[in-house]
Amino acid sequence: MSPGLVDRDGETHVRVIQGLVLSKRRFAGLLLGVVFLFAVPDLVRVAQALDISFFQLGVIHRGLVFGFAAVGLNLLLRHTELVSFGHAAFFGTGAYTAAVTAVYLDVTSLLILLLLATAIGTVMAGIIGALSLRHTGLYFALLTLAFGQLLYAIALGQSALGGSDGMPVRPGEANEPLLLGQSLGDAYGIILYYITAIIVLVGLLVMWRIVNSPFRYALDAIGQDRTRAEFIGLPVRRYVWVAFVISGVYGGVAGGLFAVFRQYVTPAGTLYFLQSGDILYMAILGGFKTLLGPLVGGVLLVVLEFVGRSVTPYFEFLTGAVLVILVFGFPEGIVGSIGEDGVFRRALARGKRGAADLRENPSVAGDWARRIGGGLRRQIDESLTTLRVIVFGVS
């Protein structure tokens, strides 16, 4: 079916592709996001003219690729309710695959480097998934962390991989990967950004297909109750392993894009466990119950870290404080809270209903004041009780 307008429940919606029908508001947001994504290089030039230091192509690209890895992780987090602390393993595997093939095999083709990074990252996800998915909960999270740290230790300790100094991704006489046999020269970074933007959009579309397929509903059933899912005949371990491998594909692609854009990889920047923590936090910050949330969280977190470093040597404190405010201010994540079903939209609807009630019957203001006062008294009593327990050990 071709794109066009459709009527649903008496309202006009926009059909983007077959199966993807959005409200006019969501379609406008999607269109604005795509335009912004491809306008970033031009906006960077404007920001440079205005001396806005944080808006740089490298910063936005880093946010996109880490956010793309978080989109893959979110498949596990949202539907199977498994928390992985080792997804940097696939990101780093993809990045180091591009570096090793460029240095030791002298592969100059940009596309081949990305394909190999994706393939090896996927294989690594298959191996780690097969070894980790025998366990759930905390044991699964710790196993993924252990495998990630094992790969980090290998990269750190092997001189062939450059040790802590890392490896370049600069093959051939052109000293850079080639696109269809051609050197990109000064346009290398911009063209790589556009390639990344296209891959990100395709990856989001693929993930949308996955989360709107019967496979997603099987994962939801497994996440809610594994025992019941097994009882109704679902091959639980196989389904979760496939989801784990799919998330690894996204990590491998992201790592390969990161390596060929930066043209240098290090263990600390790709495989360290804090990178896994960042990927997980990106998904939560943006809204892990949404498709776009992890990507938005990735860009936002990277920009905040960059701004923090440029403003103060205590950037960790500044970044942490801002993130705490964001988490409390956006309890369902950035995208989840501002969406049509988000907490902000619900609060606005309650506010409109309250204003209508107040116009019809002004006496409801007294009821609101009494409820607010009662709530404050309960909070104060609970706080005093907690304080007595902490200080005096009595309740």
Question: Any idea what DSSP says for residue 54?
Answer: T
Asked if 230 and 236 touch (Cβ cutoff 8 Å), the reply is yes
Alpha carbon distance 364, 370 (integer Å): 10
At 239 the three-state DSSP class reads helix
Confidence category of residue 20, pLDDT binned at 50, 70, 90: confident
Q: Using the 8-state DSSP alphabet, how is residue 185 labeled?
A: G
User: What count of other Cβ atoms lies within 10 Å of the Cβ of residue 26?
Assistant: 15
Residues 158 and 174 sit within 8 Å (Cβ to Cβ): no
**Separation between Cα atoms, residue 322 and residue 301, nearest integer Å:** 10
Could you tell me if 318 and 312 are in contact, meaning their C-beta atoms sit under 8 angstroms apart? yes
Cα–Cα distance, 249 to 206 (Å, whole number): 12
**Is 50 exceeded by the pLDDT of residue 293?**
yes
Q: Which pTM does this prediction carry?
A: 0.83
- Return the SS3 of 20: strand
Note the pLDDT of residue 52: 75
With 60 as the cut, is the pLDDT of residue 392 above it?
no
| DSSP characters over 263-301 | SEE-HHHHTSHHHHHHHHHHHHHH-TTSSSHHHHHHHHH
- Give me the pLDDT at residue 73, please: 93
pLDDT tens, position by position, 248-283: 999 999 999 999 999 999 999 999 888 998 898 888
How many residues in total does the chain contain?
A: 395
In whole angstroms, give the CA distance from residue 343 to residue 337.
Answer: 5
pLDDT tens, position by position, 222-256: 888 888 888 888 888 999 999 999 999 999 999 99
Q: Which helix (H) or strand (E) holds 115?
A: helix 110-132
**pLDDT value, residue 82:** 87
367 band by pLDDT with thresholds 50, 70 and 90: low
Strand order in the sheet with 4-8: 4-8, 11-17, 20-23
Per DSSP, the three-state class of 313 is: coil
Q: How confident is the model at residue 289 (pLDDT cuts 50, 70, 90)?
A: confident
Average pLDDT over residues 140-152: 92
d(CA 26, CA 290): 13
Q: Mention every residue, 6+ apart, whose C-beta is less than 8 A from residue 185.
A: none
- Joined together, the tokens standing for residue 356 give 């209508």
**pLDDT confidence of 363, banded at 50, 70, 90?**
low
| Nearest partner of 294 among 91, 115, 302, judged by Cα | 302
Closest CA to 224 of 212, 213, 234: 234
81-108, pLDDT tens digit by residue? 888 888 999 999 999 999 999 999 988 9
Helix (H) or strand (E) holding 304: helix 293-311
Q: What is the pLDDT of the chain when averaged over all its residues?
A: 83
Confidence of residue 306 (pLDDT cuts 50, 70, 90): confident
How much is the pLDDT for 286? 86
Predicted confidence at residue 284, as pLDDT, reads 86
Confidence of residue 388 (pLDDT cuts 50, 70, 90): low
CA distance 45 to 170: 26
pLDDT at residue 137 tops 60: yes
